[in-house]
Amino acid sequence: MSVFVSTLQRLQPGRAVAAFIALASLAATHAFFVEMGIFRKSLDVKGKHCYITGGSSGLGHALALELVKRGAHVTIIARGQARLDAVKAELETHKGPSQIIQAISADLTSPTSSSDALEQAVKAHGGKCPEHIYLCAGHSLPQFFIDASPEELKSGLDETYWVSAYTAHAATKMMVSQRVHGKIVFVSSFVGYISFPGYSPYAPGKYALRALADTLRTELVPHNISVHIFMPASIRSEGWENEELRKPRITKQIEEGDEVLPAGDVAESLIIGIEKGYYQITNVLVTDLMRVLSKGNAPYNNIFMDMIYLIIALVGVPIWSKYVDYLVKKDAPEVRKELKERGFYADPAAASTPK
């Protein structure tokens, strides 16, 4: 950037302005074509080993199916062997004769189990590390912070952060030691940008994943390993249906009207984001608005579109935030009433509306 500025300074004012306009026009044209997919490089996974955690359901399942269709060797990891076997059988109906499909049961909240699962997966490939790591495992158990037990709070971090971080750690070490050039793709969430009531056991881990990905994005540059992080909104799946059964009333009110997309559509958005070379990948407009306000030192996706998003976000997000505060305050009397009925208060008489 300093070289660019000094060059402009050496030009005559008129020529400097003309040069700047020309460069801006060229960049805008390139950004437009990339956004439209004209210069987009297709994700080529044919013959490559794609390792997918959480591959037996939801986004992981949909992603595994698409990558098999593209010719990849696919290993899916999850806890339940029965579900894994069923998904493996489905994937095998779409594979070619030379493709290797594996399904491994493992508890990825354990560092040892995470490492062992990866070691088991590479045996079928002569010990070579997977070129692509997709970290889709995890789930949410929405509830209020005061209702969660210490065990549930710990589980919240285990099932959102460590369930991906342990695998990323084992895979990164193996990729670097073998000099494998590849990709690591984290899956966070909309609430990895901004959270609200009901997600206290879940959102911290998703924020932490973003911090880890932000660090590795540059740390792994010397090793030719690219890092992406996907920030999807709600995905229609069995996991989402289970969340709906236990979400606090206020959480449902805040999310009312949000579109819940099929896992296949969400997987397609992830792949498109990778093909465009985006680091932080989103799948709905409202997440892009949160992204441009919360990106820190992360690179822009499309600088011109991001400037438009930023203008919208600077107006829209504070309004949305005020609306969330309004909903929470409106619901407060009911919250206090329910806590009083449950005998939560040490002094029930003190449960009146504070001034």
Catalytically active residues, by annotation:
202, 206
Per-residue pLDDT, averaged over 222-248, amounts to 91
Alpha carbon 27 to chain centroid distance? 28
CB 247 within 8 A of CB 142: yes
Q: pTM to 2 decimals?
A: 0.87
- Tell me what pLDDT residue 8 has: 39
- Is residue 312 a part of any domain in this protein? no
Domain that holds residue 283: 49-289
Residue pLDDT, tens place only, 16-59: 444 434 444 444 444 455 455 556 688 999 999 999 999 999 99
- Is residue 38 a part of any domain in this protein? no
- Is residue 306 a part of any domain in this protein? no
Domain CATH for 172: 3.40.50.720
CA 22, 26, 32, 33: dihedral to nearest 10 degrees? 150
Grade residue 332 by pLDDT with cuts at 50, 70 and 90.
very high
- Is residue 131 a part of any domain in this protein? yes
Residue pLDDT, tens place only, 96-109: 999 999 999 999 99
Order of strands, sheet of 101-105, starting from the edge strand that comes earlier in the sequence? 101-105, 73-78, 49-53, 132-135, 182-187, 225-230, 280-281
- Is residue 185 a part of any domain in this protein? yes
- Is residue 213 a part of any domain in this protein? yes
Task: Evaluate the CA torsion angle 335, 336, 339, 344 in order and state its sign.
Answer: positive
**How many domains is the chain built from?**
1
CB 68 within 8 A of CB 46: no
More confident residue, 348 or 257: 257
Mean of the per-residue pLDDT values of the chain: 89
Kindly tell me if the per-residue pLDDT of 242 is higher than 90. no
Per-residue pLDDT, averaged over 342-355, amounts to 71
- Is residue 198 a part of any domain in this protein? yes
**Bridge pairing between strands 49-53 and 73-78:** parallel
CB 87 within 8 A of CB 60: no
- Is residue 95 a part of any domain in this protein? yes
| Eight-state DSSP code of residue 231 | -
In angstroms, rounded to a whole number, what is the distance separating the alpha carbons of residues 270 and 186?
Answer: 11
CB 295 within 8 A of CB 280: yes
Helix spans in the chain (H): 2-10, 13-36, 58-69, 81-92, 111-122, 150-157, 163-177, 203-219, 238-244, 249-255, 263-275, 285-294, 303-341
